[in-house]
Structure 1
Amino acid sequence: MNPRGNAHTLVQARRRDSLDKRQRALTALTTLEQQGKKITHTAVARTAGVSTWLTYTEGIREHIEAAQRRQQQSVPRPVPARNPGATLRTELELARQEIRALREERDQMRQALQHQLGQQLDDLSATALSGRVDELRCHNQRLADQLRQTTDENTVLKARVVSLDQDLAAARTSLRRMIRSENTAH
């Protein structure tokens, strides 16, 4: 056995293993960045299945730091509200504009509906309207005839009531005379 051959083979194996781990770390870094996950040395080490120590070594650390800077630049920072009153005034003005727009839309819809109803009335044919007018005239004539007949019957009945009242009054008078004459005779 050649001791030098075994050492050389071990060095080569370690070098291949180190290159493989570095490549896995860089691949993990790319994957995390594409997924939009937070990039940290620990996250890269876990994803790649390597030690955290490796992520701090030269050649890996620079790539992680660059990815962190890119991530910080791409994350939009919330803009602090400088003047809450100004925001409320802006929202109020937007609400007022929306109300004006809604009122205008309502008025336009109302006007369109009026035009549509007018058009429907205009579309009714003259014959349909004439037919309806004739129908109403006939109905009115029937009602007038019924009224005349009922008035005539009422007049006849009133005359009969007057006649019966007179007959009743005459019968009472005659009955009184009879009762008096009977009473005086006895």
Structure 2
Amino acid sequence: MNESRTPAQVLREARQKDSRDKRARVLAVVDQLLTDNEPVTFTGVARAANVSHWLVYAEGVREHIEAARRGQGRAATNNAHAGPKAPAGWKVEKQLLHEDNRRLRQEVERLKGAVRRNLGQQVDQIGAADLGSRVDELTTDNQRLQGERDEALARVKDLTDQLSEVQDDLAGARMSLRRMMRAENQASRK
């Protein structure tokens, strides 16, 4: 019979599987560090396994890391030509600090860029307020010029009408003059 699982059961099982996978990754990293004869530190293991610092200090994992560190400590003391050296793990801690510093520098640069962009936007907004008043001025000027254009067009129409009347009067006067000249020419021939 196929039992249906509740969403809570599915989530619980997924979390348990994820926890097992992470713990297995931590243990594999510790074993790899021991194989490579690299110092085992809690921070180094957490970073290499890509897990939280909390997990490397959790019960069942912490003991494994501490045992690996004790084993490395005994091997260092048994090493006959081991002179006064920095404790094991300092090299890894130093490397991790360098990585943290690099990451923090990148974050600072990213934040500086964000501040620059934000200031630029604020300057643009101040300019936008000036642009709004300039747009209002231009709109007023445009309306004034449209009024003047309309007046000029009306004046042109009046002048065109007057010109048409004057041309009609001129044409009439020319016709009258021609008639008078014909009549005068005919009267002088007779």
TM-score range, shorter chain: 0.3 to 0.5
Q: Give the TM-score normalised by the residue count of structure 1.
A: 0.39
Q: Give the TM-score normalised by the residue count of structure 2.
A: 0.39
Point out the structure with max Rg over C-alpha.
1
Greater relative contact order: 1 or 2 (C-alpha under 8 angstroms, separation 6 or more)? 2
